[in-house]
Structure 1
Amino acid sequence: MTTTGDTTPETTKTPETTEAPTAARTSWLREHSELGVSALLFLLGVLVLTDALTMTVDIGQRGPVGPRTVPLVVGAGLLVVAVLLAVDVLRGGRGEAEGGEDIDLTEPSDWRTVLLLAGVFLGFAVLIGPLGFPVSGALLFWGAAYALGSRHHHRDPLIAAALSLLTYVVFNNLLGVPLPGGPLMGVL
């Protein structure tokens, strides 16, 4: 017994829109966002290795461990971690979401705090040369405390000045790491 016609309805194909590939690409990138961290680690590893291999080294060095050893190990380690992370992400691995008790993952990012902290660090980098570490460090500690929410306007500058001076004395005088003193150190 043979049938004369197929009774199943034909499936009609709808024309693809241009939004589908864009949505699929965005979805893939969102699912594999850890590849960005992998790329950053890889670039950082290449930078560290390049810098280590191009540094000038005194030929009179004794022993197998020289100034290139640690940067070479760190650079190679960064490359290995970057490749392993990329392989893990491409195989379907995903980082675990933050599960801290005090973090509300539904809240948006606090860009005001991030920008204030970035401004404080940039200000520190600009002011450390002309003002020295004690003054610019105090401004760094005070600005960071303000950006992170402290509003004790009388106490915070005093604590910042004490921390900055203590840090300066420990590094400059006790550890022998020279920090720029600035004009205030001529007075003290």
Structure 2
Amino acid sequence: MTTPPAPRRSWLRDHSELGVGALLLVLGVLVLTDALTMDVDIAQRGPIGPTTVPLVVGTGLLVVAVLLAVDVLRGGRGEAEGGEDIDLSEPGDRRTVLLLIGVFLGFAVLVGPVGFPVSGALLFWGSAYALGSRHLHRDPLVAALLSLITYGVFNNLLGVPLPGGPLMGVI
């Protein structure tokens, strides 16, 4: 009795890590383009200006993208973590992914009109719900507290203004 041949996999499936390399390459080009076109005051203090970090990060992204592509093309493959208990033959959980996409899009739409504290609370609560938490009394309270703390830290301590929305005049 002969064994059936193993299913043939496509070249792209066998080299799927090249997609990560392509993403890193695109991000590196975007970061470098943004850094090189940045409008910088020439009378800066010290040898390190505001373009230094983006130039280093962008160059690093390009180097990692090239090294990853070379490794994959030479036959290298990423290894799953030892403690990973995922059956890769099963399909992904589309419901969770779609719920998270909806929560993030809702946050992006609502952050302007209702402000960060409200939209952030919805983001945190919706993400927890999408990822499986069903504590319907606790989760909204934790999300609201986390959103207010995040708003306070960014707005007051870090000096990064976030949209407060109509409730910030009341609170």
Structure 2: which 5+ runs fail to align? Answer: 1-6
| Within-5 A mapping of 1:97-108 | 97-108=80-91
d(CA) in 2 for partners of 1:154, 1:76: 47
- Structure 2 residue matching 1:172: 3-state secondary structure: helix
Offset of residue 49 of structure 1? 0.5
Match of 2:78 in 1: 95
Match of 2:4 in 1: none
Match of 2:137 in 1: 154
Q: What does the per-residue CA deviation read over 1:110-146, in whole Å, with 9 as the maximum and x for residues that have no partner?
A: 0111111111111111111111110010000110011
Q: TM-score w.r.t. structure 1 length?
A: 0.82
Are residue 141 (structure 1) and residue 111 (structure 2) matched? no
Aligned length: 165
d(CA) in 2 for partners of 1:40, 1:55: 22
Offset of residue 106 of structure 1? 3.6
Match of 2:57 in 1: 74
Q: Which of residues 50, 55, 58 in structure 1 aligns to 2:33?
A: 50
Offset of residue 186 of structure 1? 0.6
Q: After TM superposition, what 4+ stretches of structure 1 lie above 6 angstroms from structure 2?
A: none
| Within-5 A mapping of 1:169-180 | 169-180=152-163
- Structure 1 residue matching 2:115: 3-state secondary structure: helix
Q: Which of residues 4, 21, 43 in structure 2 aligns to 1:60?
A: 43
| Within-5 A mapping of 1:10-49 | 27-49=10-32
d(CA) in 2 for partners of 1:177, 1:43: 28
d(CA) in 2 for partners of 1:87, 1:28: 15
Amino acid at match of 1:36: G
Amino acid at match of 1:61: Q
- Structure 2 residue matching 1:104: 3-state secondary structure: coil
Going from structure 1 to structure 2, the CA distance change for 1:75 and 1:137 (only over 3 Å counts) comes to same
Match of 1:8 in 2: none
Amino acid at match of 2:17: E
Structure 1: which 5+ runs fail to align? Answer: 1-22
Match of 1:10 in 2: none
Q: Which has the higher Rg, Structure 1 or Structure 2?
A: 1
- Cα RMSD after superposing both structures: 1.6
Offset of residue 104 of structure 1? 3.3
